[in-house]
Amino acid sequence: MRAMLHADLLTAATGLADEIVGLRRAIHAEPELGLHTPRTRDKVRAALAGLPLDWREGPSTTGLVATLKGGAGAGRRVLLRGDMDALPMPEETGLDFASTIPGTMHACGHDAHTAMLAGAARLLCARQAELAGEVQFMFQPGEEGHHGARFMLEDGLIDPLPEAAFALHVMPNAPHGLVGGRAGPLLAGADQIDIVVEGRGGHASLPHETLDPMPVACEIVMALQAMVTRRFSVHDPVVLTIARIEGGTAHNVIADRVAMRGTMRTLSTTSRARIRESVVLVAEGIAAAHGLTARVTVTEGFPVTICDSRAVDFGERVTRDLLGTGAFQRLADPIMGAEDFAYLLEKVPGAMFFLGMAHADDDWRQCCGIHSTRMVLDETVLPHGAALLAALGARFLAEGFG
């Protein structure tokens, strides 16, 4: 029965390939940013019109939760999630369906995530009579730093909570069709740091009459790198990157202040708290040693994405049954990117899996990764992703984590 279910889902998903790809391309051509993605929302509603879904929307975002109630009575509840927002960056792919919105691009695959989730909804709606329980399809905006998942939770759109939650994330520079996952920390917690060094400017030929913030800012950057390697264990990884330094207006003027911005990535709550305190100590201490001041602001980002071991084991079994024994790979190490699916996984056991989307004939190691202006996907993998999401949902309703 299990093998028949999976074979049937994969065949049916392949039959939906044109619709899944068409939705992905329509979303890709009109990317939207942040918490409010009304055109994308409307495309999703249109693609799933007429299906036996109960829709919920909230005040904080244009996010949608569509609930499918199985026809075989009460049972478990499972959530499947796809994100909808794009990135504020230009597109240089040359695709026929490239972004028509200047400075905005689906460079993280959220268009594919949404299309695959819509495909999974169609697959499971066609099997409503066989399902016992409920499937929640979460179409979420605001993943790119806007905390969309948290807002949807706070708006009560996922109430009652499911007993498990799953998501896929495409990887354009991973082997074609390969699914990857790991138990425990999968992705990092991420916080933004802003440091402003305040001094006293003047003529560049008379630095002794000023309090020059530029060398102090440079010293802080180097000290922060040394701090990470000397105060944090390599077995609890920490990444700190200062990505922008801004100060001065001319070659012969010493500025009054220098502003820096960067990111801190951690895999534990302990290191996350410690690095915040340590950055303040280092920045303020170095500035004070030179007679200047430093002001540190930490903007809290996403928590660590932690996958439940039962959910990962379950996902591996479903993937191998659906796509073949070689279709799943355990990841040895976490990735220091961040994901707001973490908010769901703080409340519900579940897992996110990566789906390789490199073209079969390409060397995946040379393909552009996510957040590249030239990122492209092999759309032939999209039906496999839709089938996998549907299989995760159907199998969990039938068996739980097993």
40-57 pLDDT, tens digit per residue, is 999 999 999 999 999 999
Mean pLDDT of 254-259: 97
pLDDT of residue 73: 85
Q: pLDDT band at 5, cuts 50/70/90?
A: low
DSSP string for 195-215: EEEE-B-EETT-GGGSB-HHH
pLDDT of residue 1: 42
Mean pLDDT of 231-237: 93
Q: Which fold has domain 2-187+304-399?
A: Aminopeptidase (3.40.630)
- Whether residue 237 is predicted with pLDDT greater than 70 in this model: the reply is yes
Mean pLDDT of 186-212: 97
Q: pLDDT band at 4, cuts 50/70/90?
A: very low
Q: Return the bridge partners of 308, or none.
A: none
Mean pLDDT of 361-390: 95
Q: How far apart are CA 316 and CA 328, in angstroms?
A: 6
Full-prediction pTM beyond 0.75?
Answer: yes
CATH numeric code, 189-300: 3.30.70.360
Mean pLDDT of 338-350: 97
Q: Dig out the tokens for 276 from the structure.
A: 């915040």
pLDDT of residue 3: 47
> To the nearest whole percent, how much of the chain has pLDDT over 90?
96
Q: Which of 321, 341, 344, 326 is nearest to 392 (CA)?
A: 321
| Domains of the chain by residue range | 2-187+304-399, 189-300
Q: Are strands 305-307 and 202-203 parallel, antiparallel or unpaired?
A: unpaired
Q: For residue 226, what are the CA distances in angstroms to 220, 239, 241?
A: 10, 11, 12
- Whether residue 2 is predicted with pLDDT greater than 90 in this model: the reply is no
Q: Whole-number mean pLDDT of the chain?
A: 96
90-105 pLDDT, tens digit per residue, is 999 999 999 999 999 9
Other CB atoms within 10 A of residue 329 CB: 17
- Whether residue 325 is predicted with pLDDT greater than 50 in this model: the reply is yes
Q: Dig out the tokens for 353 from the structure.
A: 């899996």
Instruction: Return the ∠ at Cα 185 (arms to 184 and 189), rounded to 5°.
Output: 150
Q: How far apart are CA 309 and CA 315, in angstroms?
A: 10
CA within 13 Å, CB half, 346 = 13
Same topology between domain 2-187+304-399 and domain 189-300 = no
264-280 pLDDT, tens digit per residue, is 999 999 999 999 999 99
14-29 pLDDT, tens digit per residue, is 999 999 999 999 999 9
